[in-house]
Amino acid sequence: MSKLLCAGALALAFAGFTSASHAALVQWTLTDVRFADGGTASGSYVFDASTGSYSRIGIATTVPDGSAAASFSSTCDGANCAEASPDPAQFIIFAPPDTSDMTGKQVLLIDLQSPMTDAGGTIPINPMAQPVLALRSKAFSTVCPDARCTIPGDLRLIESGEVVGQAYVPPAATPVAVPAMAPWGLALLSLLLAPLAWLPKRRQR
């Protein structure tokens, strides 16, 4: 009985630990994000406020006529491109899937009015009225002029938009189909098992 209670307690503790480890995950969705030239940015990402890490990034931008401009599925961390975010919870630098050579590729920088937390909610993006030299306090997209994107190229300034955060719900696991045994297979299995069931009775005699 004590072993059963101990096992139950361990299971509950593990379940609680697992739940707590995912409590900080929030999915943030770009909402009504528009560039000054009429293009847009859309998509979402998952942010862990406890570790300052990003996952499941899927962001895309368009040009003024609605055509695709670029897509982003990673972030700059100072290793894959020169500029690292000074504050991952508030200043985000999105990068393309392949950052081995950033020449000619685009990055998307979003500066939020307040840091993201595990509470979610709505946070406006700081619009950029006039270009300045510092990368901080900007919201824009740019084409990198060199391999590590050390300096920005021409800027597409973001003039409006926000990010909306909700608790991240992992996608449901795809159920695995268990093949059912055909009727003839069940009959054959019964014939094979019947002698095994009869043996103990014979030994008792």
Burial 130-142, CB ≥16 within 10 A → b, else e: eeeeebeebbbbb
E strand residue ranges, 78-196: 91-95, 106-111, 121-124, 140-143, 155-167
**Domain extent at residue 84:** 23-167
Percent of the chain with pLDDT over 90: 57
> Mean of the pLDDT values across residues 166-171?
93
Range in 61-70, 120-129, 168-177 the model is least confident about: 168-177
Stated pTM of the model: 0.72
In a domain, 183, yes or no: no
Range in 47-51, 67-71, 140-144, 191-195 the model is least confident about: 191-195
In a domain, 138, yes or no: yes
Q: Which of residues 39 and 136 earns the better pLDDT score?
A: 39
Query: Is 90 exceeded by the pLDDT of residue 86?
Result: no
Structural domains of the chain, count: 1
> Mean of the pLDDT values across residues 14-26?
56
Tell me the C-alpha distance between 71 and 106, whole Å. Answer: 8
pLDDT band at residue 93 under the 50/70/90 scheme:
very high
pLDDT one-digit tens code per residue, 25-81: 999 999 999 999 999 999 999 999 999 999 999 999 999 999 999 999 999 988 888
pLDDT, position 12: 41
pLDDT, position 119: 96
In a domain, 60, yes or no: yes
In a domain, 175, yes or no: no
Query: Is 50 exceeded by the pLDDT of residue 190?
Result: yes
In a domain, 111, yes or no: yes
In a domain, 33, yes or no: yes
In a domain, 201, yes or no: no
Which of the 8 DSSP states describes residue 43? Answer: E
Which of the 8 DSSP states describes residue 14? Answer: H
In a domain, 43, yes or no: yes
What do you get for the CA distance between the two ends of the chain, in Å?
37
